[in-house]
Amino acid sequence: MKTTIPAVAGLLDLTGKVALVTGAGAGIGRGIAGRLAEAGAAVAVHYRGGEAEARSAVATLQAAGRKAAAVPMELTDPQSVEAGIASVAKALGPVDILVNNAARQTHSTLSEMGLDEWQAMLATNLDGVFLLSKAVIAAMIARKSGGAIVNIASISAMNSTITHGHYATSKAGLLMLTRAQAAEFGPHGIRANAVSPGVIYRQGIENAWPSGVKRWMDKVPLGRMGDVEDVGDAVLFLASPASRFITGANLVVDGGVSVLSTY
């Protein structure tokens, strides 16, 4: 079956598309939202507790002439998810691109961790992705519109560290969920891929995690921490026509750390 090949100039053009980015008020999520908006997408900025940050992100996008809206959702609550998707559709239109970025990340050894923390990690990082993706994909199938799902995983999914066992487990599960989504929903024209970032710079990280930053900088081949735009550009690629024949993939964005021996 012959497909229509877009011109190079239009490979990253998302004009007319609606993107929903979870946890997009700050950090990586805000960086992703900004890059998708710059490519022409109308962007729904999801938040749970950080309303002020989300509205600030929306204001920044709107000031640059982009279409954007802030949308609250509790991602582990099916009713809240349903209401949130309806709010996006009302404000911007139906979702064409879903970026599952919102995540929980705490530190604890497995031996000291309680069941409540284990379950909270899996609830946010897996249950929330499952519920929101299921709802968005059902709407895509009903519209026969196709679409793109990008799940934000982590290099921790492939190489866990002490105190990150629960987080790493949730992200490893997310990679398999991505592959399952790709297999099941590909016949409907829906692509599902993952992005696995390494250490991404945020203000104050050197003071908050000096030992980790030093280990990273001593090892990373490209000689720096990542920027949120590095992750945003990977998501943009996977959401765009440039990756039209890519699904079920995991794009690692870590400056080359993962290619090195860990022992």
Catalytic residues: 167
Distance of alpha carbon 23 from alpha carbon 141, whole angstroms: 25
Query: Are the beta carbons of 146 and 189 closer than 8 angstroms?
Result: yes
CB atoms under 10 Å from CB of 75, counted, come to: 23
Distance of alpha carbon 183 from alpha carbon 172, whole angstroms: 17
Nearest to 137, CA basis, from 173, 87, 191, 68: 191
Nearest to 93, CA basis, from 40, 20, 11: 20
DSSP 8-class letter at 248? S
| 85 sits in which H/E element | helix 78-91
Distance of alpha carbon 31 from alpha carbon 37, whole angstroms: 10
